[in-house]
C-alpha cells in the first residue's frame, strides 16, 4: 500500500512532442505529490508538486493532472526540448503517522527528447 | 547550483577505511535527510533528522552513522563498508521537521561513493 507505481519505464519523443508520465498510488493518506527531475551526475531537483485539493497545476511547460478518485496523477511536458532529457520521478507523502513527510518514490522514467 | 551542498563530490575508499560525508544547508530548514541511490533506481531513505534529533532510521546497518552537529549541518560517518554500499549518497532538507506537515524536500547533488 506504500508503493507508488510509475509508467512508462522509458519514453522517447520528438522535439515539440508532449511526453506523459503516469503514477498511481493506493494509500489514501498520501496528500502531497511532487515530481523530481534528475540529470546524470546530479541530485533530484523539485520540478512541480500538487496537493489533492486541486485537479491540475501548471508551471511553465510542466503540468500535473491529478485524479483523486482514481488515485492517479500524471506529468505532462508541453513543447518538449532535448534539454528535458532526464529521469523523472514521481513521489508521494502522507501528512500524519510515523512516516510523516517521508517521500515514497516511483521507480522513475527515463525521457529522451530527440532533436 | 543547489542550495544543499554536499562534500566531497566523489569518494573512493577501502573496506577498512573510515570516512565522512558532509552536507550543509543555509535555508533555515529544520529537517534533514540522508538517501542512498543506486544506478537507475529511485532514492532510498536512510535517516531523517528533525530539529537536530534523529527521528527515523530505516533499518540502516551500523556501519553508517549519522550526526547532526547543528541545524545547518549533517554528517554521515562511514566505517567498514562493503562493495554493495557503492552508490550515490544524497542529502536533502525541508522547512519543517516531524509534525510540520509535508514540505518540499530539496536535494544536494550527492557524493558518489565507490568501495574497493
Cβ–Cβ of A43/B109 closer than 8 Å? Answer: yes
* A29: chain B residues, CB-CB within 8 Å: none
CB A85 within 8 A of CB A77: no
Q: Give the C-alpha separation, A14 to A3, whole Å.
A: 31
User: In this model, does residue A71 exceed pLDDT 60?
Assistant: yes
Q: Of A1-5, A14-18, A29-33, B3-7, where does mean pLDDT reach its minimum? A: A1-5
User: In this model, does residue A49 exceed pLDDT 90?
Assistant: yes
Which pLDDT value is given to residue A95? 72
Instruction: State whether residue B96 sits within 8 Å of chain A by CB.
Output: yes
With pLDDT > 70 as the criterion, what percentage of chain B qualifies?
A: 94
User: In this model, does residue B9 exceed pLDDT 90?
Assistant: yes
Cβ–Cβ of B90/A43 closer than 8 Å? Answer: yes
Q: Cell digits for B97? A: 521537521
Predicted confidence (pLDDT) per residue in B37-69, tens digit: 999 999 999 999 988 999 888 889 999 999 999
* A94: chain B residues, CB-CB within 8 Å: 102
Which pLDDT value is given to residue B97? 60
Instruction: State whether residue A62 sits within 8 Å of chain B by CB.
Output: no
Amino acid at each position: 500500500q506504500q508503493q507508488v507505481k510509475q509508467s512508462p519505464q522509458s519514453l522517447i519523443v520528438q522535439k515539440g512532442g508532449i511526453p506523459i508520465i503516469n503514477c498511481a498510488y493506493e494509500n489514501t493518506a498520501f496528500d502531497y505529490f511532487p515530481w523530481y527531475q534528475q540529470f546524470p551526475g546530479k541530485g533530484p531537483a523539485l520540478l512541480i508538486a500538487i496537493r489533492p485539493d486541486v485537479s491540475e497545476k501548471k508551471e511553465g511547460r510542466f503540468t500535473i493532472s491529478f485524479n483523486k478518485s482514481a488515485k492517479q496523477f500524471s506529468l505532462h511536458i508541453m513543447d518538449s526540448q532535448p534539454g528535458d532529457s532526464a529521469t523523472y520521478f514521481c513521489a508521494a507523502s502522507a501528512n500524519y503517522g510515523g512516516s510523516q513527510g517521508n517521500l515514497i518514490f516511483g521507480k522513475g522514467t527515463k525521457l529522451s527528447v530527440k532533436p | 547550483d543547489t542550495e544543499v551542498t554536499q562534500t566531497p563530490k566523489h569518494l573512493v575508499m577501502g573496506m577498512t577505511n573510515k570516512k565522512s560525508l558532509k552536507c550543509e544547508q543555509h535555508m533555515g530548514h529544520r529537517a534533514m535527510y540522508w538517501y542512498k541511490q543506486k544506478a537507475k533506481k529511485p532514492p532510498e531513505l536512510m535517516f531523517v533528522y528533525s530539529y537536530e534529533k534523529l527521528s527515523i532510521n530505516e533499518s540502516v546497518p551500523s556501519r553508517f552513522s549519522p550526526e547532526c552537529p547543528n541545524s545547518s549541518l549533517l554528517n554521515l560517518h562511514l566505517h567498514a563498508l562493503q562493495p554493495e554500499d557503492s552508490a550515490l549518497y544524497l542529502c536533502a532538507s525541508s522547512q519543517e521537521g516531524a509534525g510540520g506537515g509535508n514540505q518540499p524536500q530539496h536535494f544536494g547533488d550527492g557524493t558518489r561513493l565507490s568501495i574497493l
